[in-house]
Amino acid sequence: MFGNTQEPSGPTAPRISISGLGKIYGARGKQVEALREVDLDIADNEFVCLVGPSGCGKSTLLRIIADLQRPSSGEVAVLTESSARRPAAVVFQDYSIYPWKTVAQNVAFGLLSTDVPKREVKDRVALWLDKLGLAAFADSYPAALSGGMRQRVAIARAMVVESEILLMDEPFAALDAQLRRILQEELLSLWQDMRRTVLFITHNLDEAILLGDRVVVMSGRPGHIIADYTVPFGRPRSADIRGSAEFASLEEELWLRLRGEVFPGDAAESKEKAA
């Protein structure tokens, strides 16, 4: 069951609350259990990174939160300050931008069905094009852009609608290592300016620690939460933390916890080392 509840009941109420969530695909005899008994709370303005082995249901969980899929069991409650049916903006790894629209038209797309005045739409689009280094490409089409630029367009389109929640499904996975680091640092800076509630899916532990307030670890399929780490670096945060011993130690601890899920035969050894 999915529900939007207006007006959080108190300052400590989670922005997203997931309880006993399960998801099964297929018909009887050919069923695949993607998620089982997932429990997770995400606080207002918190940046939570979700990691786990491929196929563990991370993307399914995000799509259920976005109300793009229905759960088989359990509940998702999203506390909102508006009456929007979908108070979340979503960024996928495949860009999901329209090739027949210009950069500016793509960024503005999410505002077209709202009651935002045309002048404000133009101003908001210009603001986010500028923030993401796209102003010079406003009239260009996606085919003329690099992969990194296309992902900037997707992020700008999500930001411009000023949703209360931002859901990001491996948005940098298709980029080369250098460009990925650049966009990680840009997103870090943007989030520290705007402070929205974010759920960010990634396979990259370095990325998760750099960006997140928490790193939540999922098991292999059927996916459920097996660990929840608080990232011990304050805000504002810079990419320089990557060079610290504490960063390396947390990354190693996360990998040891995750390794048994990626390579099930190593599970016992990984759990013993991580303990």
**Model pLDDT for residues 89-110, shown as the tens digit of each residue:** 888 877 678 999 999 999 998 7
Q: What is the pLDDT of residues 154-177, one digit of tens each?
A: 888 888 888 889 999 998 888 888
- The secondary structure of residue 111, as a DSSP letter, is G
Can you give the pLDDT at residue 129? 92
Q: Using CA atoms, how far apart are residues 139 and 131, in angstroms rounded to an integer?
A: 16
Q: What pLDDT is recorded for position 174? A: 80
State which residues form the domain around 142: 101-162
Q: Which of 138, 162, 186 is the last residue of a domain?
A: 162
269 in any annotated domain: yes
- Last-in-domain residue among 110, 135, 162: 162
User: What pLDDT, on the 0 to 100 scale, is given for residue 245?
Assistant: 96
Whether residue 120 is contained in a domain is answered as yes
Residue 22 belongs to a domain: yes
Show the low-confidence residues of the chain (pLDDT under 50). 1-2, 5-11, 270, 274
pLDDT of residue 269: 53
Claim to verify: residue 192 and residue 125 sit in the same structural domain: no
The number of helix segments (H) and strand segments (E) in the chain equals 8, 10
The Cα-based distances of 259 to 205, 225, 251 in angstroms read 12, 15, 12
Domain-located, residue 93: no
Same domain, residue pair 175 and 258: yes
- Residue 116 falls inside a structural domain: yes
- Domain at 230, CATH number: 3.40.50.300
Which of 106, 115, 61 shows the shortest CA–CA distance to 88?
A: 61
C-alpha distances in Å from residue 146, one per residue of 109, 182, 209: 20, 14, 27
- Whether 157 and 175 map to the same domain: the answer is no
Task: Work out whether strand 165-169 and strand 88-92 pair parallel, antiparallel, or are unpaired.
Answer: parallel
181/139 same-domain check: no
Q: Within this chain, do residues 73 and 172 fall inside the same structural domain, yes or no?
A: yes
Q: Do 130 and 193 have their domain in common?
A: no
Query: Residue 94: its pLDDT value, please?
Result: 72
Phi-psi region of 96 (alpha: psi -120 to 50; beta: other; left: phi over 0): left
The pTM of the full predicted model, rounded to 2 decimals, is: 0.86
The burial of 181, by beta-carbon neighbours within 10 Å (0-12 exposed, 13-18 middle, 19 or more buried), is given as: middle
CA 117 vs CA 68, 76, 108, 123: distances in Å: 28, 32, 12, 10
Instruction: Determine the pLDDT at residue 146.
Output: 87
Residues 25 and 79 in one domain: yes
The count of structural domains within the chain is 2
Residue whose structure tokens are 């390794």: 259
